[in-house]
Amino acid sequence: MTITIEDITAAEERIDQAAGIRRTPVQTSTTLGDRLGADVRLKAEHLQKTGSFKPRGAFNAIHRIAGGDADRVVAASAGNHAQGVAYAATELGLESLIVMPETAPQAKVDATEGYGATVRLEGDTFAEAMAAARSAATESDTEFVHAYDDPDVVAGQGTIGLELLEQVPEMSLLTVPIGGGGLIGGIATAVTAIDDSVRIVGVQAESAATVPQSLDKGYPVANETPDTIADGIATGSVSDLTFDIISERVDEVVTVTDTEIAQATLFLLERTKQLVEGAAAAAVAPLLSGTIDCRGETVVPVLGGGNIDVATLQDILTRALVDRRLFVTLTVRIDDRPGVLGEVAEIIGDHDTNVRSVRHDRSEEGLPVGKADLVIRMTTPGTAAIDRIIGDIEAAGYTIKRVVPTGAPDE
């Protein structure tokens, strides 16, 4: 079982019938290009209907199903496939049931229901949700739509490759995130069939990676407990279908850490004004970290989705503040008497610094009687402000005991 370029061109014709699915733009990033010494074009698939590439494959698969006897489709998904199936089924006049893990972000649950699906939460992992969905799909007049182990789904994702060959005919390097392999499988099939000189590199989150081990062993290897901020690629496995395509048509597969994914997410937000989810930022992460050398190349990272969970985004932004010493914890030794907290807070406020939390610590071993420590967590406008604050506090007669980034191990 595999797919061909003919399957993908046929999928493109079907998808053209979908009112909501669009040809997504390619945006040149001069900032990223200057940093990498390359010509960087971002394939903005996060601007697709439902906020990810998934409606392409879902629509192609459900278009076939709609021509048969089924009147309902079932799928399992951590989020983006769910929305793609829900949208496509509604567009084509079918009912849809989506089984999602109980850990799925609420925003993705709400969005899936908003596209017309019935959502059922089952299990803590994608594998458990998949088992429940498979069971539901045995009911009459129902067909299962797999997120990546389906030739029609993979062919639909491959239409991105056709677009890229037209939009960036000079591209020499393509970086594509890998979860279950449907996205890279479809794109690689399209691109290698027309221009096999393009180097195609797959990217997985280190703590959810299965493809490197699978390629070493020669068959798909599963990870039952993938754990990454890039929930869109935390599938824990590839299928036989996508493994074979990756083996034959992808030049290299690399891994990136969650820290590198977070840094790439923040870079894209700050410097390119693109808000993407971790699975999409994974395509940029190995370029920023230097894992992939792209100097002198025309490189296209595929930004597959923009449905980032708000809580995850908050964690990423907080981590960035910590890394830049803009979110710090200051410990000040004081006389334990009324009014001191106000005095110290006034000094801090003079430097446009916001106190996030404060507590009195009177339990430290060896603390003199009548003394206390003020443990102050604060957000500063810049690293220079920290030095000024410390100087003014010490000038007022207080002792600074410790300054650490908030969240640091020795805080």
User: Domain-by-domain residue ranges, the chain?
Assistant: 5-52+155-317, 54-151, 325-405
Three-class SS string for 250-289? CCEEEEECHHHHHHHHHHHHHHCCCCCCHHHHCCCHHHHH
The secondary structure of residue 232, as a DSSP letter, is G
Count Cβ atoms below 10 Å from residue 398 Cβ, excluding itself.
19
Alpha-carbon span 281 to 299, nearest angstrom? 15
Domains 54-151 and 325-405 share a fold: no
Among candidate residues 111, 113, 106, 115, the one with its CA nearest the CA of residue 310: 106
The burial of 118, by beta-carbon neighbours within 10 Å (0-12 exposed, 13-18 middle, 19 or more buried), is given as middle
Question: With bands split at pLDDT 50, 70 and 90, how would you rate the model's confidence at 362?
Answer: confident
Across residues 37-60, what is the average pLDDT?
98
Do 228 and 195 form a contact (C-beta atoms < 8 A)?
no
Provide the token pair at 62: 């459900």
Which helix (H) or strand (E) is 203 found in, with range?
Answer: strand 199-205
Residue type at 134?
R
Half-sphere exposure for 284 (CA within 13 Å, toward CB)? 33
Report, as an integer, the average pLDDT of 288-300: 97
Region of residue 405 (phi > 0: left; psi between -120 and 50: alpha; otherwise: beta): beta
Average pLDDT, the chain: 93
Is 91:161 a contact under the CB 8 Å cutoff? no
pLDDT in tens, 227-286: 899 988 988 899 999 999 999 999 999 999 999 999 999 999 999 999 999 999 999 999
Please give the single-letter amino acid code of residue 176.
Answer: V
> For the residues 85-94, what does the mean pLDDT come to?
97
Q: How confident is the model at residue 107 (pLDDT cuts 50, 70, 90)?
A: confident
For domain 325-405, the CATH class is: alpha beta
Residue with tokens 């200057």, as numbered in its chain: 34
Fold classification of 5-52+155-317 is Rossmann fold (3.40.50)
Contact in structure between 246 and 7 (CB atoms under 8 Å): no
Distance of CA 185 to the CA centre of its chain: 19
Confidence bin at 406 (pLDDT 50/70/90): low
pTM of the model: 0.88
Alpha carbons 16 and 396: distance in angstroms, whole number: 70
- Asked whether the beta carbons of 284 and 309 are under 8 A apart, the reply is no
Among residues 247, 305, 233, the alpha carbon closest in space to that of 276 is found at 305
- Tens-digit pLDDT profile for residues 163-178: 999 999 999 999 999 9
**Cα–Cα nearest to 119, from 94, 90, 103, 98:** 98
- For the 54-151 domain, the top CATH level (class) is alpha beta
The three-class DSSP label of residue 399 is strand
